[in-house]
Structure 1
Amino acid sequence: MPPTVNAGLPIREYILVALITAALTFLLTGLVRRFATRIGAIATPRARDVHVIPIPRMGGLAMYFGVCGGMALAHQLPVLRRAFEYSLDPVGVLLGGAVIVLIGALDDRFELDAWTKLAGQVMCAGILVLFGVQWLELWVPWGGDDESIGSVLVLDKNQGALFTVLLVVVMVNAMNFVDGLDGLASGLGFIAAAATCVFSIGVLSSTNNYVGAYPPALIAATLAGACLGFLPHNFQPAKIFMGDSGSMLIGLMLSSASVSASGRIPYSQFEATDILGLLSPLIVVAAVLFLPLLDLLMAVVRRTRRGESPFAADKMHLHHRLLEIGHSQRRAVLLIYFWAGLLAFGAVSVTLFDSAAVLWVVGAGLLVAILVSAVPRLRSRNQGAQQ
């Protein structure tokens, strides 16, 4: 376990790093947009797409360089430098991120096949493992004695590496899958990264007070800044898409932050009641990605039942359904933001506040989300009845 420090995590320094990352990303996105247009990295409208005019993509380049700038600033700050002194996680994220952005940029320009991208994703996950971003202990809800809930599996290097690679590949593809409406992936990336950063600062520093909290907080803060800086260019009507270079970068950094925050905690030293809090980063990401993952599962079932390939495109995804029942693009995106934010910050709040109060608030929020999501359908039914 990393050594402890006497002071809590510096919130203002993380905010500064996030804002600098956002500013750099915002400024660089305009340059990347012109570059993408010049080299022909253009998203031409297809039958399943929502946009109707060609739009440049490859925005992940601006996001990555923004992250590099934020990391460079953090390295010069006396307190945040600890994230680099006690861990190679940030370096692994920068190198793995560079490779995955390059693969994504090539796909944005030349449309790589699925197997080539999968091989690249596995390679990038391997880079993270080589730099120590690896799950060491895994809590499971079975196998405990009468006085404990669940048990802890200690993973060897091969098992930990395999689990980490699987987690990275799943998250990378989930974020790639959700990038279907203007501003959707960047907004969800910001929500998940912000919630993970809040967890790392608020929970790890206050309860354990050890430097192992610095790397995940830094990774999450820079990712949140990159998503925030890119969002003004990407929100409907989008001037540029992040493309695979951006969506895969978000998935890589989210999985890295989750593994760095939760994957190396010695669970055997904690009570069963602490497990939820310790697993919050993974729960946060799972909460944000729950809707796209559910949508992915439903799409696979739907297509295979029709005798089609699971990778065949259609217009029956979650965001397409929200548009069909009467929501505008902006309203559909904001609704998904609301659902994701409610689930993500609800998961973190359970570890920070009274669980009963949090459940009541989250329950009320879910009820509001259901009602607001159903309003266009109710309105269309009433109009149909009147006619």
Structure 2
Amino acid sequence: MKNFELLLTQTGISIFYVKVGLGFLFSFLITFFSIPTIIKISRRKNLMDEPGVRSSHLRKIPNLGGIAIFYSIGICTSIFAYEIFDLYKFLFASLIILLYVGIMDDIVVMRAYKKLIAQIVVSVFIVIGSDVRIRSLFGIFGIYEINYWISVIFSIITFIILINAFNLIDGIDGLAGGYSVVCSALFGISYYHLGPYNYPLVILSSVIIGSVLAFLYYNLSNYRAAKIFMGDTGSMLLGFLLAFTCICFIDIFIDKERLDIPRYHLKSAPVIAVAILILPIVDTLNVIVIRLFNRKSPFEADKNHIHHKLLKLNLTHRRASFYIIIYYLFIILITYFLRHSNVNILLATVLILGFIGAYIPDLILAFQNDKQRSIN
């Protein structure tokens, strides 16, 4: 690889852009050509997702698409952004653990507490072992620098919440995959603008995008024999990686002791990160509140998610995913234009808009029912 970089340098071609392009291309191709084999094995061995309480599909569908996503990300990141595994020693080990737990859950359905233990382990690895943590809230609620152990606990909880939150939005075709592409693109563009030190994270983002786009080709297919879900394997991996890139993004804006790392400062960095991941955050908070209000367990499956509400409006999976992503992109855009506002006001604005989006489908459905009743 170093000889290849030397050759590019001599020819005047930017190594970084070649890595981004090849990382995207090869991650796309690896996933694209891996999934048909996974589908074939899944059907032969009956490793399928059975329709259940939370399901929005009526037939058994292969659900091991996450294996192909891991396969391409693991290979391409190791080749084109190998510096990441030097900087964050426990990152690859964490991905392997999530892969194992995800596959086990997709095949035999693990108990919730076992998955939680695995999520705690990988979160501890990355937070304490690789020192990827939230060190400051930049004035949110009047809090700036956080005590080390409080920072560790808060960061571990953040990882666990985001891993599970992303798993919860994976309920209809295209939503989890499409939103992960959007988040990775936004973080990747941000890292690019923040300078060369962050280029490995840009490459990681492009690798994730390539892999997930290839997965979406099959996930959104109208041809039933080619259809596949990412399963818990894919949703946990993507949730973990997006939590990782999110916290790394916030960390960029904290003053570093090392002189070779450029210093940036943006008070609203944590709020921007929340805005980018607003869909899984709001959806998870909303269903938990509804379950507690109805005196049910917050872990009990139901159909109160945003995507389930849109399906009640007789929208297709594609249309529902498209409308959800467009609305939450609108929130991200507003956050960007207001990024220099007071952080607490900006955070409140983001959350209010996020929850409004969660209840717009209910208002539309109520209006349609009232109109139908008036006609009758």
- TM > 0.5 fold call: yes
SS at match of 2:136: strand
Residues 1:44 and 2:44 aligned together: no
In the alignment, which residue of structure 1 is the partner of 2:209?
224
Q: How many residues align?
A: 343
Deviation string 1:303-335 (CA, Å, 9 cap, x unpaired) is 233332222222222111111123222211111
In the alignment, which residue of structure 2 is the partner of 1:181?
172
CA distance in 2, matches of 1:300, 1:154: 27
CA distance in 2, matches of 1:351, 1:19: 33
Q: Percent identity?
A: 24
CA distance in 1, matches of 2:263, 2:77: 35
CA distance in 1, matches of 2:109, 2:23: 34
Q: Which moved more, 1:163-172 or 1:123-132?
A: 123-132
SS at match of 1:152: strand
> C-alpha displacement at 1:160, in angstroms?
3.7
Tell me: CA distance 1:133–1:39, structure 2 relative to 1, closer, same or farther (3 Å): farther
Q: Which moved more, 1:264-273 or 1:333-342?
A: 264-273
> C-alpha displacement at 1:348, in angstroms?
5.2
1:212-291 pair list within 5 angstroms: 213-235=198-220, 237=222, 239-263=227-251, 265-267=253-255, 274-276=266-268, 278-279=269-270, 283-284=272-273, 286-291=274-279
SS at match of 2:266: helix
Question: Do 2:65 and 2:230's aligned partners in 1 also have CA atoms closer than 8 Å?
Answer: yes
- Specify the code of the residue in structure 1 equivalent to 2:295: G
Q: For 1:172, which of 159, 163, 166 is the aligned residue?
A: 163
CA distance in 2, matches of 1:306, 1:151: 34
In the alignment, which residue of structure 1 is the partner of 2:295?
307
Question: Do 1:134 and 1:260's aligned partners in 2 also have CA atoms closer than 8 Å?
Answer: yes
> C-alpha displacement at 1:37, in angstroms?
2.9
Residues 1:199 and 2:205 aligned together: no
Residues 1:292 and 2:291 aligned together: no
> C-alpha displacement at 1:257, in angstroms?
1.2
CA distance in 2, matches of 1:229, 1:350: 34
Q: For 1:31, which of 30, 37, 40 is the aligned residue?
A: 37
> C-alpha displacement at 1:287, in angstroms?
2.4
CA distance in 2, matches of 1:33, 1:178: 23
- Specify the code of the residue in structure 2 equivalent to 1:181: I
CA distance in 2, matches of 1:345, 1:31: 39
When the two structures are superposed, what TM-score results if normalisation uses the length of structure 1? 0.76
Consecutive unaligned residues of structure 1, counting only runs of 5 or more, are: 1-6, 76-80, 144-149, 353-361
CA distance in 2, matches of 1:63, 1:308: 34
When the two structures are superposed, what TM-score results if normalisation uses the length of structure 2? 0.79
Q: Which moved more, 1:112-121 or 1:373-382?
A: 373-382
CA distance in 2, matches of 1:83, 1:311: 34
Tell me: CA distance 1:12–1:151, structure 2 relative to 1, closer, same or farther (3 Å): farther
Residues 1:108 and 2:106 aligned together: yes
Question: Do 2:165 and 2:283's aligned partners in 1 also have CA atoms closer than 8 Å?
Answer: no
> C-alpha displacement at 1:168, in angstroms?
1.1
CA distance in 2, matches of 1:310, 1:329: 25
In the alignment, which residue of structure 2 is the partner of 1:61?
67
- RMSD after superposition: 3.5
Consecutive unaligned residues of structure 2, counting only runs of 5 or more, are: 1-12, 341-349
Q: For 1:98, which of 88, 96, 99 is the aligned residue?
A: 96
1:323-338 pair list within 5 angstroms: 323-338=311-326
Tell me: CA distance 1:136–1:340, structure 2 relative to 1, closer, same or farther (3 Å): closer
In the alignment, which residue of structure 2 is the partner of 1:322?
310
Tell me: CA distance 1:314–1:137, structure 2 relative to 1, closer, same or farther (3 Å): closer
> C-alpha displacement at 1:154, in angstroms?
5.1
Deviation string 1:71-115 (CA, Å, 9 cap, x unpaired) is 13315xxxxx6555xx423x5332211110110100000110111
Tell me: CA distance 1:273–1:266, structure 2 relative to 1, closer, same or farther (3 Å): closer
- Specify the code of the residue in structure 2 equivalent to 1:10: F
